Copies of this chain bind each other. A is one copy, B any other.
């Protein structure tokens, strides 16, 4: 099974997520170091006492020498450039990523680093801030961290990645890549589109409207404040799943408009939405039960873990 001594952690990209990951791993006593493309980001990390460099090749050679776990924490559109370099300089390192879509990343890894010891991941944490200045070692505390759990996954690699998530304070949610991408389209990417539309309509109404805007507008449009390039990279990488969930949303809003126009009622959309929000609040208020009776590497372990995760359980070892 997994190594007794946890692997050093090598993070590529020291933005909000990658930088927080370095801090969280270090908080737990793990060796962590990183690469950042910009001088400013790397210098900011070094100023806070962390080991950061802008020399990608040197960082990857060190990762290879130390058998580090490499974490891809750069935007999805940078992976095509990074992966061949990793394949060349650190081919045997365990590899994961924290990108918000999983099928496109798995596809890029299969194409550009086909022998990779790779298991993807996605921590469900973030703010509308970005960059090293926004990093926080507690960002992942009690967050959900999806770890890709496909049939045929290498259980040792899976355990290395899941253990990193646990060491960062998160709970592990095992899932298949396609199910993950559909889920985040609905609960993460769609809320960006509705927030952006709501913000634009509100601001377009009048100066009076923005002056009167209070809690429902403030909270409902918060994620529209995320840097546009980050929003676009995230949403456009999940195009197919997002198209489906956006179409369903449009259908619901059109039905609500027809009901409001024809009968003066918004009962259906309000009742459906309130029931859904209540279910979410109840789930969020209840500690997730642990995944039990399955060990990585056993027959059918991946399917068994996914089944329990679909019922709301998390891996908490």
Selected interface stretch from A16-24, A63-71, A151-159, A250-258: A250-258
A209 to B264 alpha-carbon distance, docked (Å): 32
Q: Which residues of B contact A175 (CB under 8 A)?
A: 208, 212
Determine how close the nearest CB of chain B comes to the CB of A303; give it in whole angstroms.
Answer: 14
Q: Decide: A273 and B200 in contact? CB cutoff 8 A.
A: yes
Cβ of A88 < 8 Å from any Cβ of B?
A: no
Cβ of A94 < 8 Å from any Cβ of B?
A: no
Known: A209-B187, A312-B211. A270 touches B217 (CB 8 A): no
Determine how close the nearest CB of chain B comes to the CB of A223; give it in whole angstroms.
Answer: 5
Interface string of A233-272 (1 = CB under 8 A from B): 0011001001101111110111011001100111101111
Q: Decide: A195 and B273 in contact? CB cutoff 8 A.
A: yes
Cβ of A37 < 8 Å from any Cβ of B?
A: no
Q: Decide: A242 and B216 in contact? CB cutoff 8 A.
A: no
Q: Which residues of B contact A205 (CB under 8 A)?
A: 182-183, 185-187, 245
Nearest B-chain residue to A257, judged by Cβ: B246
Cβ of A5 < 8 Å from any Cβ of B?
A: no
Interface string of A171-208 (1 = CB under 8 A from B): 00101000110111111101111111111111111111
Determine how close the nearest CB of chain B comes to the CB of A149; give it in whole angstroms.
Answer: 11
Cβ of A7 < 8 Å from any Cβ of B?
A: no
Interface string of A215-238 (1 = CB under 8 A from B): 111111111111110011001100
Cβ of A281 < 8 Å from any Cβ of B?
A: yes
Selected interface stretch from A25-33, A46-54, A105-113, A123-131: A123-131
Q: Which residues of B contact A146 (CB under 8 A)?
A: 212
Q: Decide: B271 and A257 in contact? CB cutoff 8 A.
A: no
Interface string of A30-47 (1 = CB under 8 A from B): 000000000000000000
Cβ of A288 < 8 Å from any Cβ of B?
A: yes
Cβ of A292 < 8 Å from any Cβ of B?
A: no
A312 to B312 alpha-carbon distance, docked (Å): 47
Q: Which residues of B contact A225 (CB under 8 A)?
A: 274, 277-278, 281
Determine how close the nearest CB of chain B comes to the CB of A161; give it in whole angstroms.
Answer: 16
A57 to B198 alpha-carbon distance, docked (Å): 44
A–B pairs, 25, beta carbons within 8 Å: A125-B214, A144-B211, A183-B206, A183-B208, A187-B202, A187-B213, A187-B216, A192-B216, A194-B197, A195-B220, A195-B273, A196-B270, A199-B274, A200-B272, A202-B280, A203-B279, A206-B310, A207-B310, A210-B279, A218-B280, A220-B223, A224-B277, A225-B274, A249-B253, A250-B250
The chain A residues found within 8 Å of chain B, CB to CB, are 124-127, 143-144, 146, 173, 175, 179-180, 182-188, 190-228, 231-232, 235-236, 239, 242-243, 245-250, 252-254, 256-257, 260-261, 264-267, 269-281, 283-284, 288, 309-312, 314
Further pairs besides A200-B273, A224-B270, A232-B267: 9, Cβ < 8 Å: A194-B198, A194-B220, A196-B269, A197-B256, A198-B273, A208-B309, A215-B222, A228-B274, A242-B260
